[in-house]
Amino acid sequence: MLEPMQGEGGIKPGTREYFALARDLADANGALLICDEVQVGMGRSGSLWGHEQLDVKPDVFTSAKALGGGVPIGAMMAAKSVSDTFGPGDHANTYGGNPLACAAGLAVAEYLSEHDVLSNVRARGEQLAVGLADIAGRYFTVLGETRGWGLLRGMVIKDDAGCTAAELVGDAMKEGLLLVAAGPSVVRFVPPLVVKESEVAEALVRFERAIATRVGTTP
Ligand SMILES: Cc1ncc(COP(=O)(O)O)c(C=O)c1O
């Protein structure tokens, strides 16, 4: 079971080679290849599912978080050869398939089908990546690599930066910018998929201000 791009693990995109080998090994050994799309799925990577970025076909993949647009729901999608092994009642769950959560999931799916959200994810994701790389170039003593797909981006904080990712997240919060750490040394950017160009630009200004305050210079 693999995330196409690791979220909590530090925003680490998988590679086509790695996933192709995992697919081959699973096939050779009669194992299932399962992708965890809870964090990277539902359009966040710029494609509907993260595994599309890697051109691999999992036997099963999971989804949650954005699946219900904030209403708690989780789901598992399976290829026919695999789903046939499950019968009604095999996988009991107190809230499974409840009408409210399913209505929320359906509304999200309809919105994604009827609006070109993915183009926005790709364009705003590129804007964010370029902007973060610029800032990293100016503050190279503190900031390292910028990585990720679409609107799930990570900024690496260097080992000898003198601060942790969590501390920088706190600095950004003082500037009115909500971020979240992904492990001890990566600051994670996960804006809404409908974020506007001006909002990404504003976020970059605020992030740079937070870094500048931390290192004691003027941006
Ligand atoms: C990649 C990934 N998988 C699974 C989970 C857990 O999802 P759930 O809380 O819907 O079980 C998370 C939650 O943070 C996650 O980021």
pLDDT digits (tens, 9 = 90+) for 147-157: 999 999 999 99
Select from 210, 211, 217, 209 the least CA-distant residue to 161: 211
> Residue 82: is it exposed, middle or buried by C-beta count within 10 angstroms (0-12/13-18/19+)?
middle
Instruction: List alpha helices for the chain, DSSP H.
Output: 16-29, 80-83, 99-114, 117-138, 165-174, 197-215
| Percent helix / strand / coil, the chain, rounded to 5 | 45, 15, 40
For ligand 1, atom 5, which residue shows the shortest CA distance?
Answer: 38
CA end-to-end span of the chain, whole Å? 43
What pLDDT was estimated at residue 219? Answer: 63
Whole-number pLDDT of residue 2: 98
Summarised one tens digit per residue, pLDDT across range 2-51 is: 999 999 999 999 999 999 999 999 999 999 999 999 999 999 999 999 99
- Indicate whether residue 3 lines ligand 1 (CB < 6 A): yes
- State if residue 74 touches ligand 1 by the CB under 6 angstroms criterion: yes
DSSP code of 12?
Answer: E
Number of the ligand 1 atom closest to the C-alpha atom of 72: 10
152 lines ligand 1 (CB under 6 A): no
pLDDT band at 218; cut points 50, 70, 90: low
Residue with tokens 């599912």: 49
pLDDT tens digits along 149-195: 999 999 999 999 999 999 999 999 999 999 999 999 999 999 999 99
Cβ burial of 163 (10 Å; 0-12, 13-18, 19+) is: middle
In short, whether 55's Cβ falls inside 6 Å of ligand 1 is: no
pTM of the model as a whole: 0.94
Burial class (CB in 10 A: 0-12, 13-18, 19+), 124: buried
| 3 close to 15: Cβ distance less than 8 angstroms | no
